[in-house]
Amino acid sequence: MIDTPGFFWTVACFILAIGPLVFVHELGHFLMARLFGVQVDVFSIGFGREVTGWTDRLGTRWKIAWMPLGGYVRFAGDMNGASQEDPRWRQLTPGERDRVFHAKPLWQRALIVLAGPLANFAAALIILAGFAYAYGDSRMPPVVAGIQAGSPAERAGIKVGDKVLEVSGRSVERFEQIYPIVQARPGIEFDMKLEREGQPFTVQITPRTAVERDRFGNEYKLGKIGIAPSGKFVIEEVSLIEAPIVAVRRTGEILDLMVTGIWQVISGRRSVDELGGPIKIAQISGQAASLGWKEFVSFLALISINLGFINLLPVPMLDGGHLCFYAVEAVQRRPVSPRTMEIAFRSGMFVLLALMAFVTLNDLASLGVWRFAGHGG
Give the residue ranges of DSSP H helices in 222-337.
243-266, 278-291, 293-311, 319-332
Furthest C-alpha separation in the chain: 78
**SS3 call for 146:** strand
Q: Is 197 a catalytic residue?
A: no
- 3-class state of residue 23 by DSSP: helix
- Cβ pair 178, 172 in contact under 8 A: yes
CA distance 352 to 46: 16
Q: How many CB atoms lie within 10 A of CB 106?
A: 13
Give the length of the chain.
377
| Burial class of residue 140 in the structure, from the number of CB atoms within 10 Å of its CB (0-12 exposed, 13-18 middle, 19+ buried) | middle
Angle between helices 106-135 and 293-311 (to 10 degrees): 160
Which helix H or strand E contains 367, and what residues bound it?
none
Could you say which DSSP state residue 100 is in? -
Q: Which of 26, 50, 85, 195 is an active site residue?
A: 26
Q: Pairing relation of β-strands 190-196 and 199-205?
A: antiparallel
Q: Which helix (H) or strand (E) holds 369?
A: helix 369-376
Q: For residue 73, what are the CA distances in angstroms to 15, 44, 64, 104?
A: 19, 6, 12, 16
DSSP 205: E
Evaluate whether 204 touches 191 at the Cβ level (below 8 Å).
Answer: yes
DSSP-assigned beta bridge partners for residue 219:
213
Per-residue CA distances from 55 to 31, 40, 42 (Å): 17, 11, 9
Give catalytic residue positions.
26
